Chain A
């Protein structure tokens, strides 16, 4: 029973977000007031989006409602506008509104405290950016979708280059812009093919006709969509913009870009490949699976090599997008094999991981933002011991780190566990290729999760623990601004809640999963013990789920919690009184200094060597020899550093860039600058056209 129709509410939310842009961008007397005003309006917009989403997801507003925007019915059907609000849209509105809202709340603290140049402008563009994402989700026609997509890209570009004083930032922005435009071109091509084939730009009508298209056309659309959405999502090898753009942007922007915006690529795939095209042949799924596995592995391996905390987190976004793509690929494979119930499990994993990654990556980037803003450096080797000065940030970051490492009972565990279940369930489907591929995929996923945990031990330990490694780190006394803490705590709380009660969130996916796979499942979120009982997945007229695929995800989490709790209680009971303080054994040297601490590079070294084939890493060890009778025995100095190359950059992108440069150079010869040359081109064109019309013109006798 809704008091306000969802469409009015969503319209209101968009107006509020536009007003947020106005508040930040219009000239204002007080920059601070404009900043806070704009961000508050953005927060209000996010809350309205959440209420719309909940109304759609919980209010039983089943089915998909489409509203054609009055006054926007163009004479050409291709350019008409309509908004649509179905279960899928509701889900991603929830993502934008809820996670975006928490990040916006944190921005209220972050932007005035840490952004020194034109904070109001950033706040205004931020509000518009959130609005563009909401509009993208709501798009009912390809035309509106592309407009919102470009708006989202351009607004995020503006935010990425906000601190454009530095060359690195401008370069990162350019990389992002160029890749995004190539991606948008692929999307445009895909949608044009769909439009020509189905005769409509309306997603509903497209969906009705797209399944009857020729196989080749559907393949072409799929490839275009994977290129376009894969670039935005940041999947290997289309991810190169991501580790550049995320560190360059202000941290709240990195947070919402990594947490929410790259998920729009996932949304696009769900919308076009699953909903419009309705799945496809087996190889589609394997394409996504391979891309996802490569992203998961390369993402986490590159993350381990990073010393820049935001770059590290950016590479983890690549890893997690990889996991989501693996799940999407598994869902496609199951769909094409005719196992909708298993596809539903994989799809649940994909969507849940999309939400989970939004939560913990948003949280981690906010934590990194607080740390970077306070210390003024992104280099982890300059940090250390920050847990003392910034305890609340440290705790929040720790929760994020545990969640991204897929430790139970946090949310990251649930989605990865679901995905493992989906992979293991392939045994019994009777497809050998699938069984082999999924076994390999499960191995990759396990490796990636393990390495992620390794990486975050390093990140958390080097940043927050031990003794400060620099003067800046030593002088940190104040924690992040209050609003930022609230935002981080909200996200950390969400990580725990979803980890312990995943059904709370999973129950809202039902409509989407039913629409996309045809399989339905039942949940009872309020029943006691709900986390223990994963809903039985049942699809009509499908083979039953193989029996060994137990889906009781909560059991393990709860057991571990009990064990942990028991250990703590036991420890408390057996220890006697307060801890005692004693001098530390210093190995007979002087008092230990921060220089003796494990460095981030040192910690990453074994993995770098082990996987050196992926890096082209050149670990450099230099020994300053004291000389003497036996060289190499006594060393004065030892220097050790590791440089990590980016083989992909050199081997894949450099040739493309060179080729483009060469082509551009050739084309530029046409641009002589002389007016006679241009006039001559016109004459030549005219003559050629005239002759051609004479030779080929059908109307002439």
Chain B
């Protein structure tokens, strides 16, 4: 265990946090997807670092898988979908940029306030990642709530999942390879289903604004 490793870990964690926050306030969808990709890659790095620091070799595999899937494949699918469906590149925000930025800070404060006291309980130094992971989950949730487009909601859920992954890393040196594979498979299905869903929605409503779903109300 080296302090360099820990430093790298902290830097990577900061990248995860900052990308989540920037994605929250950014107006362009493509940029948000790329930020998500960067965040996923940072998570893969964290996974590798934890594997190295705590000699948990399976986490190398997890990290590689994560980089390939969340860092490359999913962003690619999302960008393709956006282009195919000709979704306008701006995120329609229900909450202003300033409000979103404050909400992001609020998420961080809440996470630190709630989970912070837990950190000393955990035996591993990596447990310091826990508040960050909760922040990312909350930010992902906030994205799903505060953006009008169904596309953004898919993105928000993916960000949430990254937060869960980070929490898994922080607490248990990874969720276990089986669980990890299961989540990976789930995410892929999510991407495919949401792709189908977006196509279908476009056909039915001629719009990808999630508010049109209101017309289904009985």
Contacts and interface: CB of A to CB of B under 8 A. Distances in A.
A687 B110 CA distance: 8
B139 to A, nearest CB: 11
Contacts of A687: 110, 138
A701 interface: yes
B62 to A, nearest CB: 26
Contacts of B145: 676, 679-680, 683
15 contacts: A673-B215, A676-B145, A676-B210, A679-B153, A682-B141, A683-B138, A683-B141, A683-B142, A683-B145, A686-B138, A687-B138, A691-B114, A694-B114, A700-B118, A701-B117
B94 interface: yes
B39 interface: no
Contacts of B118: 700
Interface string B189-218: 000000000000000000000110111110
Interface of B: 94, 110, 113-114, 117-118, 120-121, 138, 141-142, 144-146, 148, 153, 210-211, 213-217
B213 A675 contact: yes
B114 A693 contact: yes
Contact of A686 (B120, B141, B210, B213): B141
B130 to A, nearest CB: 13
A674 interface: yes
Q: Is the interface of B mostly helix, strand, loop or mixed?
A: helix
A68 to B, nearest CB: 38
A259 B117 CA distance: 66
Contacts of B211: 674-676
Interface residues of A, number: 18
A367 B140 CA distance: 70
Contacts of A700: 117-118
A651 interface: no
B141 A679 contact: yes
Contacts of B120: 701
A687 B138 CA distance: 9
Contacts of A675: 153, 210-211, 213
Contact of B214 (A673, A680, A682, A690): A673
Contact of B213 (A674, A682, A694): A674
B218 to A, nearest CB: 8
Contacts of A478: none
A673 B210 CA distance: 10
B141 A694 contact: no
Contacts of A694: 113-114, 117
A682 B153 CA distance: 14
B194 to A, nearest CB: 13
A691 B111 CA distance: 10
Contacts of B138: 683, 686-687
Given A679-B153, A690-B114, A693-B114, A674 B214 contact: yes
A575 interface: no
Given A683-B138, A694-B113, A701-B120, 15 more contacts: A674-B213, A674-B214, A675-B213, A676-B94, A676-B145, A676-B146, A679-B144, A679-B145, A683-B141, A686-B138, A687-B138, A690-B114, A691-B110, A694-B114, A701-B121
Interface string A683-701: 1001100110110000011
A686 B141 CA distance: 10
A515 B142 CA distance: 64
Contacts of A683: 138, 141-142, 145
A593 interface: no
A679 B146 CA distance: 9
A701 B121 CA distance: 9
Interface string A389-413: 0000000000000000000000000
Nearest to B137: A686
